[in-house]
Structure 1
């Protein structure tokens, strides 16, 4: 069955296109143009891929604070130019004092990313009880220490400067504030920071935008630059955070912060055609992506018409999701609340980094002394007891983030990832296939219409050929929809790709995201 009318909009007068950026000196693709530009400047000044990635990620925590930040966690992959790949898990950890009985089921569903029974008072979604120990600061610092060339203070400097100056508030930021206004109003610090017009200042270049300075966030970042990243977990910064968390009703303790450690891992790898696909092992979207790609490899994708190819994508994703739901977790509806960036430097080193607060604005808790937006990591746990991913103390949850690095002839060729919750790995699967099977450029791959096969009803971009929906409808229910700015229907990817035949590389970002961009180093 095909739903022809769902989410229909008149896009007849629009033609959206975002060209790729090419260069030989390094490239950054990110969900915000200022983060991409900062990363590219780091590369221009002699920094490497990890220097640029960490600096860009820290800038993202300021310029799009509802998607990612130092109050969240994530994963990254680093590929050295010689093909050695390392994985870093800096995901969130539940409080050690957590009692699962404090999350009683209320019946119905939670209405967020997961189709689990609702918890009384949405305690796993909103407020202090939804917050887990954040890993972003520890993860970014550890990655920089192992693979970077710049100091922690140097990579923090751009984020501090932008926090003092203020993030740009345009129509897209206003949309984000409006979408979550009812929830933000439940937290006084969030209301003061994001919803009070008096906090905004005139933009020096345009009357269409404002600036939103974050002096307390700038101060906390400056303290971290001076005292080091561990101050976030066991110093003055930690105490400020813990005081505010306690006031917000969180059971996170000094021990939770003091005990937090990142985990370096050997990536999971599998061969697809003539590439080695490297992902985060364990509790990420990586294993599901590899499972789907193994199923896809059974088809001669290059010989299939577009419609049959799309049906093969749907079947591969649905098979992987059925395994995921049975053995790992139980994903359903989603929204975009994650940030991804991809980097290549002129030596050929690559980073694929995904960081998240989970829901948009995470827990909707802004810490008043630091203006940090805190995650709602408890949302990633199944509130039903006795499940593979049930709520439990002191553990990491199942995550959807799927950063990828693909090797060709033993060298890093593609760094790719996306934001978008359960939409991430289906999008990554298709884009990898477009690049590898169809020989697309990054620009072409990101402009192709995609499907989303993360639920039983397959979403099909209305711009796809009509026979795509017809072919998929032979196996699954289908809903035609538009690839819109909001709601996000097909994830928000960004990628870089090396050219094996020249020194040039290419980078591209999601065409439908107003802020996403790629930027190249000048030298």
Structure 2
């Protein structure tokens, strides 16, 4: 087994001593080199020390360092999240939130909701100026889009119950990366080059990632972020509460309240009041497998399961991935699942989400009956599940290209599937303490009603915006974990995750092969397929089946997984990372 050795773990005493001499800000150019990747293709024994798959090899290595120290899957997931704050600043980090699905070897599944919340002062017209709603792009940059970050409260709750090593130890790899430096990768460079230059909105971010001419630093440039290192050192020493109170809370609230664009009354009281919440896992039976995911305010668990369950009566296995009919059926199932998602899913602490009705096999069977293998529905309308008390209007889904997903397993058979996000690339564009603040509040409906009817996902003070994140665990007939999977990519996430699950369970592909399958995305009457893949060649066949609005789109997908498989008579963990990304599976 090849092991990452680029980032070695320092003894705690050495790290703390080194932290006393923080190098000055600046960047030096190093020759571009590819991040080292562990060769986990053959798998690692399930009774070994575990495995991590993440969107960046350096972050995966941070998680692996915890596994080497005897840490749990939860410890590894937290360390990975913290390291991603440093090396993947455009996508996730402590300035955002996430959802964590945890499973043990006995099949017990728990979930923690670390989704951001709107400030107490937020109203349904939060994104209105002079009585008119902002257009979505204008709502992203600045203070108005920032929700109270949830990742650190989530991490603290998970560590308190499932952690095996010291809290401060989890921070050391991320602190080292921030203090000593990390190389700009091609993906980060391309994000920095984005036309709206969100990443350069804040002067502190401009100084970190751009040259004096305003151009992004070249691939291979070593960036040091001593401000973030100091922030992480403080939280490591003082606990998660220090993020939500004291100096950091004052700085964060001030940054949001004095933002040059869209300043917002987010207060220190909003930060102090934030709580992560334990939620019931959303679980259902697909063929012989138990599929478990995240419930509201995420729409991921219900949408992924519904896509799968509506296909259960079709012989997807016999059709195979080369048959356009299989992809037609997947698209039709998505259309129905997304219609219900947009109609009913929101923060269940604020609106009555008919969760049991949406997951009811009889209801899903009735929805499945609307799907034909030889024709296309004219319009996919939401259904009427039991418990649906209000007829909410449906907003158009928004896509984003931020977010990250990572999975970990440990020597005891525990698994963590964690999706973390700051929403769009570089979130709100605001940086405080060396990290970017999210723009998650743009996941609410900017216009709170439609045709005189309120939308379930309208803005309200203290509410969590609906999410598409879908961290998922799947257990086999024998009760053991078969697959841990999740993805990034806004409203495409349920489509990506469902496709990967179908690839593994129905088409007998490895998790790596299933993630690499092209993506079809059908949240309404229009269907998009991944450009440059076999699906693009199937467009005429999809049109012949009745899909009149089919287009090809450039790939911007990113998924990670770990599967349990039998290789050479032995059970092993085998990691998978999306070939479209810079991800890697790393073993101790």
In the superposition, the TM-score normalised over structure 1's length comes to 0.87
| Structure 2 alignment gaps of length 5 or more | 1-38, 346-393, 449-453
**More moved, 422-431 vs 381-390:** 381-390
Provide closer, same or farther for how the CA distance between residues 42 and 199 of structure 1 changes in structure 2, counting only shifts above 3 A.
Answer: farther
| Native 8 Å contact 2:243 2:249 kept in 1 | yes
> Could you tell me how far 1:482 is from its partner in structure 2?
6.1
Partner of 2:282: 268
Report the 3-state secondary structure (helix = DSSP H, G, I; strand = E; otherwise coil) of the residue aligned with 1:65. Answer: coil
Q: How does 1:414-493 map to 2 (within 5 A)?
A: 414-461=483-530, 462-464=532-534, 468-473=538-543, 474-481=545-552, 484=555, 488=556, 491-493=557-559
Q: Deviations over 1:424-476 (max 9, x none)?
A: 10111111011111111112212223322235322223421677434432232
**More moved, 140-149 vs 75-84:** 140-149
> Could you tell me how far 1:510 is from its partner in structure 2?
0.5
Higher relative CO (Cα under 8 Å, sequence separation at least 6) belongs to 1
Q: Distance in 1 between matches of 2:245 and 2:553?
A: 47
Q: Distance in 2 between matches of 1:456 and 1:346?
A: 46
Q: Distance in 2 between matches of 1:403 and 1:131?
A: 23
Q: Distance in 2 between matches of 1:178 and 1:475?
A: 39
| Native 8 Å contact 2:210 2:216 kept in 1 | no
> Could you tell me how far 1:331 is from its partner in structure 2?
4.4
Q: Which of 349, 362, 371 is residue 427 of structure 2 equivalent to? A: 362
1:497 and 2:563 aligned: yes
Report the 3-state secondary structure (helix = DSSP H, G, I; strand = E; otherwise coil) of the residue aligned with 1:68. Answer: coil
**More moved, 70-79 vs 246-255:** 246-255
Partner of 1:251: 265
Partner of 1:348: 413
Partner of 1:112: none
> Could you tell me how far 1:42 is from its partner in structure 2?
2.0
Q: Distance in 1 between matches of 2:249 and 2:129?
A: 32
Q: Which of 130, 145, 149 is residue 145 of structure 2 equivalent to? A: 130
Provide closer, same or farther for how the CA distance between residues 99 and 292 of structure 1 changes in structure 2, counting only shifts above 3 A.
Answer: same
Partner of 1:86: 110
Q: Distance in 1 between matches of 2:140 and 2:256?
A: 15
> Could you tell me how far 1:278 is from its partner in structure 2?
0.2
Report the 3-state secondary structure (helix = DSSP H, G, I; strand = E; otherwise coil) of the residue aligned with 1:281. Answer: coil
**More moved, 230-239 vs 98-107:** 98-107
Q: Distance in 2 between matches of 1:199 and 1:307?
A: 47
> Could you tell me how far 1:197 is from its partner in structure 2?
5.6
Report the 3-state secondary structure (helix = DSSP H, G, I; strand = E; otherwise coil) of the residue aligned with 1:494. Answer: strand
Q: How does 1:188-203 map to 2 (within 5 A)?
A: 188-196=203-211
> Could you tell me how far 1:103 is from its partner in structure 2?
2.2
Report the 3-state secondary structure (helix = DSSP H, G, I; strand = E; otherwise coil) of the residue aligned with 1:283. Answer: coil
Partner of 1:316: 333
Q: Deviations over 1:354-389 (max 9, x none)?
A: 01001111111112xx12200012201112222111
| Native 8 Å contact 1:94 1:396 kept in 2 | yes
> Could you tell me how far 1:160 is from its partner in structure 2?
0.6
Q: Distance in 2 between matches of 1:454 and 1:163?
A: 39
Q: Distance in 2 between matches of 1:106 and 1:19?
A: 56
**Equivalent residues, number:** 483
Q: Which of 242, 245, 255 is residue 231 of structure 1 equivalent to? A: 242
| Native 8 Å contact 1:340 1:353 kept in 2 | yes
Report the 3-state secondary structure (helix = DSSP H, G, I; strand = E; otherwise coil) of the residue aligned with 2:431. Answer: coil
1:28 and 2:48 aligned: no
| Structure 1 alignment gaps of length 5 or more | 1-17, 108-116
| Native 8 Å contact 2:402 2:488 kept in 1 | yes
Q: Deviations over 1:52-83 (max 9, x none)?
A: 11101110010011100101001010001111
Partner of 2:475: 407
> Could you tell me how far 1:100 is from its partner in structure 2?
3.5
| Native 8 Å contact 2:40 2:585 kept in 1 | no
In the superposition, the TM-score normalised over structure 2's length comes to 0.77
Partner of 1:46: 70
Q: Which of 124, 142, 147 is residue 157 of structure 2 equivalent to? A: 142
Q: Distance in 2 between matches of 1:272 and 1:447?
A: 22
Q: Deviations over 1:138-169 (max 9, x none)?
A: 11121111111011100011111101012311
Report the 3-state secondary structure (helix = DSSP H, G, I; strand = E; otherwise coil) of the residue aligned with 1:196. Answer: coil
